[in-house]
Amino acid sequence: MADTAEKRRADLRDHKRKSILAAARRVCDEAGPEALTIRAVASEAGYAPGAVYSYFAGIDELAIALTAEELGHLARRMREAAEKANGPAAALEAAALEALKATAGNAPHVRLAGRLMSADGLPSELDRSVTGRVIAILETLGGPLRA
Protein backbone atom coordinates (compact mmCIF):
# COMPACT_ATOMS: atom_id res chain seq x y z
CA MET A 1 0.00 0.00 0.00
CA ALA A 2 2.89 2.38 0.74
CA ASP A 3 4.25 1.74 -2.76
CA THR A 4 0.93 2.75 -4.30
CA ALA A 5 0.84 5.98 -2.31
CA GLU A 6 4.46 6.71 -3.25
CA LYS A 7 3.69 6.10 -6.91
CA ARG A 8 0.67 8.42 -6.75
CA ARG A 9 2.80 11.15 -5.13
CA ALA A 10 5.51 10.68 -7.76
CA ASP A 11 2.92 10.77 -10.56
CA LEU A 12 1.36 13.92 -9.12
CA ARG A 13 4.77 15.57 -8.76
CA ASP A 14 5.62 14.64 -12.36
CA HIS A 15 2.27 15.98 -13.56
CA LYS A 16 2.75 19.30 -11.76
CA ARG A 17 6.32 19.63 -13.06
CA LYS A 18 5.10 19.03 -16.61
CA SER A 19 2.29 21.55 -16.19
CA ILE A 20 4.84 24.14 -15.03
CA LEU A 21 7.03 23.39 -18.05
CA ALA A 22 4.00 23.68 -20.34
CA ALA A 23 3.15 27.04 -18.76
CA ALA A 24 6.77 28.18 -19.24
CA ARG A 25 6.54 27.16 -22.91
CA ARG A 26 3.35 29.20 -23.35
CA VAL A 27 4.89 32.27 -21.67
CA CYS A 28 7.99 31.97 -23.85
CA ASP A 29 5.94 31.43 -27.01
CA GLU A 30 3.56 34.33 -26.35
CA ALA A 31 5.89 36.97 -24.89
CA GLY A 32 9.43 35.77 -25.60
CA PRO A 33 12.15 34.47 -23.29
CA GLU A 34 12.56 37.90 -21.73
CA ALA A 35 9.12 37.47 -20.14
CA LEU A 36 10.03 34.14 -18.57
CA THR A 37 9.82 34.77 -14.83
CA ILE A 38 8.74 32.57 -11.95
CA ARG A 39 5.78 34.89 -11.34
CA ALA A 40 4.66 34.76 -15.00
CA VAL A 41 5.02 30.99 -15.21
CA ALA A 42 3.24 30.45 -11.89
CA SER A 43 0.37 32.67 -12.99
CA GLU A 44 0.08 30.84 -16.32
CA ALA A 45 0.14 27.45 -14.54
CA GLY A 46 -2.37 28.52 -11.90
CA TYR A 47 0.09 28.18 -9.01
CA ALA A 48 1.47 30.54 -6.43
CA PRO A 49 5.05 31.58 -7.27
CA GLY A 50 6.36 29.76 -4.20
CA ALA A 51 4.91 26.48 -5.48
CA VAL A 52 7.09 26.64 -8.58
CA TYR A 53 10.16 26.64 -6.35
CA SER A 54 9.13 23.18 -5.12
CA TYR A 55 9.92 21.92 -8.62
CA PHE A 56 12.64 24.28 -9.87
CA ALA A 57 15.31 26.10 -7.86
CA GLY A 58 14.83 29.26 -9.91
CA ILE A 59 14.05 30.67 -13.32
CA ASP A 60 17.39 29.57 -14.78
CA GLU A 61 16.75 25.96 -13.81
CA LEU A 62 13.25 26.14 -15.25
CA ALA A 63 14.53 27.72 -18.48
CA ILE A 64 17.23 25.06 -18.80
CA ALA A 65 14.68 22.28 -18.28
CA LEU A 66 12.47 23.85 -20.95
CA THR A 67 15.41 24.12 -23.35
CA ALA A 68 16.42 20.51 -22.69
CA GLU A 69 12.87 19.38 -23.40
CA GLU A 70 12.76 21.38 -26.64
CA LEU A 71 16.11 19.94 -27.73
CA GLY A 72 14.78 16.45 -27.05
CA HIS A 73 11.77 17.10 -29.27
CA LEU A 74 14.07 18.46 -31.99
CA ALA A 75 16.34 15.41 -31.81
CA ARG A 76 13.33 13.10 -32.14
CA ARG A 77 11.91 15.00 -35.14
CA MET A 78 15.31 15.00 -36.85
CA ARG A 79 15.81 11.28 -36.22
CA GLU A 80 12.33 10.45 -37.54
CA ALA A 81 12.92 12.53 -40.67
CA ALA A 82 16.29 10.86 -41.28
CA GLU A 83 14.83 7.37 -40.79
CA LYS A 84 12.23 7.98 -43.51
CA ALA A 85 14.85 9.01 -46.06
CA ASN A 86 16.45 6.74 -48.66
CA GLY A 87 20.22 6.78 -48.30
CA PRO A 88 22.72 8.74 -46.22
CA ALA A 89 22.66 11.97 -48.25
CA ALA A 90 18.86 12.12 -48.16
CA ALA A 91 18.89 11.32 -44.43
CA LEU A 92 21.32 14.15 -43.73
CA GLU A 93 19.26 16.55 -45.82
CA ALA A 94 15.98 15.46 -44.17
CA ALA A 95 17.43 15.87 -40.66
CA ALA A 96 18.94 19.26 -41.47
CA LEU A 97 15.71 20.48 -43.07
CA GLU A 98 13.75 19.36 -40.01
CA ALA A 99 16.16 21.29 -37.79
CA LEU A 100 15.77 24.40 -39.93
CA LYS A 101 12.00 24.07 -39.99
CA ALA A 102 11.80 23.55 -36.23
CA THR A 103 14.09 26.43 -35.34
CA ALA A 104 12.56 28.84 -37.87
CA GLY A 105 9.14 28.37 -36.32
CA ASN A 106 10.43 28.45 -32.76
CA ALA A 107 12.33 31.73 -32.45
CA PRO A 108 11.58 32.34 -28.75
CA HIS A 109 13.00 28.96 -27.77
CA VAL A 110 16.06 29.45 -29.97
CA ARG A 111 16.71 32.81 -28.26
CA LEU A 112 16.20 31.18 -24.86
CA ALA A 113 18.65 28.39 -25.71
CA GLY A 114 21.21 30.93 -26.90
CA ARG A 115 20.88 32.92 -23.69
CA LEU A 116 21.29 29.82 -21.56
CA MET A 117 24.21 28.43 -23.51
CA SER A 118 26.10 31.66 -22.92
CA ALA A 119 25.34 31.65 -19.17
CA ASP A 120 27.94 30.62 -16.65
CA GLY A 121 27.63 27.58 -14.44
CA LEU A 122 24.67 25.43 -15.35
CA PRO A 123 23.77 23.00 -12.56
CA SER A 124 25.48 19.72 -13.44
CA GLU A 125 22.27 17.67 -13.73
CA LEU A 126 20.74 20.14 -16.16
CA ASP A 127 24.03 20.62 -17.99
CA ARG A 128 24.10 16.85 -18.61
CA SER A 129 20.48 16.95 -19.73
CA VAL A 130 21.08 19.70 -22.28
CA THR A 131 24.41 18.23 -23.40
CA GLY A 132 22.83 14.80 -23.89
CA ARG A 133 20.18 16.23 -26.15
CA VAL A 134 22.69 18.24 -28.18
CA ILE A 135 24.70 15.03 -28.61
CA ALA A 136 21.53 13.23 -29.81
CA ILE A 137 21.04 15.96 -32.42
CA LEU A 138 24.65 15.71 -33.56
CA GLU A 139 24.46 11.91 -33.71
CA THR A 140 21.42 12.21 -35.97
CA LEU A 141 23.57 14.22 -38.36
CA GLY A 142 26.68 12.12 -37.78
CA GLY A 143 25.20 8.78 -38.85
CA PRO A 144 24.53 9.84 -42.44
CA LEU A 145 27.86 11.67 -42.58
CA ARG A 146 29.74 8.53 -41.57
CA ALA A 147 27.82 6.47 -44.13
User: Cα-Cα-Cα-Cα dihedral of 134, 136, 138, 144, to 10°?
Assistant: -170
Q: Give pLDDT, residue 15.
A: 93
Q: Tell me the whole-structure pTM to 2 decimals.
A: 0.76
Q: Is the pLDDT of residue 30 over 80?
A: yes
Interaxial angle between packed helices 107-117 and 88-104, expressed in degrees from 0 to 180 and rounded to the nearest 10:
90
Q: 109 near 34, Cβ under 8 Å?
A: no
Q: Is the pLDDT of residue 7 over 80?
A: yes
- pLDDT by residue (tens digit) across 52-110? 999 998 888 888 888 888 888 888 888 899 889 998 889 889 988 988 887 776 667 66
Please give, one letter per residue, the 3-state secondary structure of 97-141.
HHHHHHHHCCHHHHHHHHHHHCCCCCCHHHHHHHHHHHHHHHHHH
Architecture of the 2-146 domain: Orthogonal Bundle (1.10)
Q: Where are the beta strands (DSSP E) in 4-93?
A: none
**For the chain, what are the domain ranges?**
2-146
**pLDDT average, residue stretch 107-121:** 67
Q: Give pLDDT, residue 125.
A: 63
Q: Give pLDDT, residue 118.
A: 61
Which residues, at least 6 apart from 63, have a Cβ–Cβ distance to it below 8 Å? 24, 33, 36, 112, 115, 116
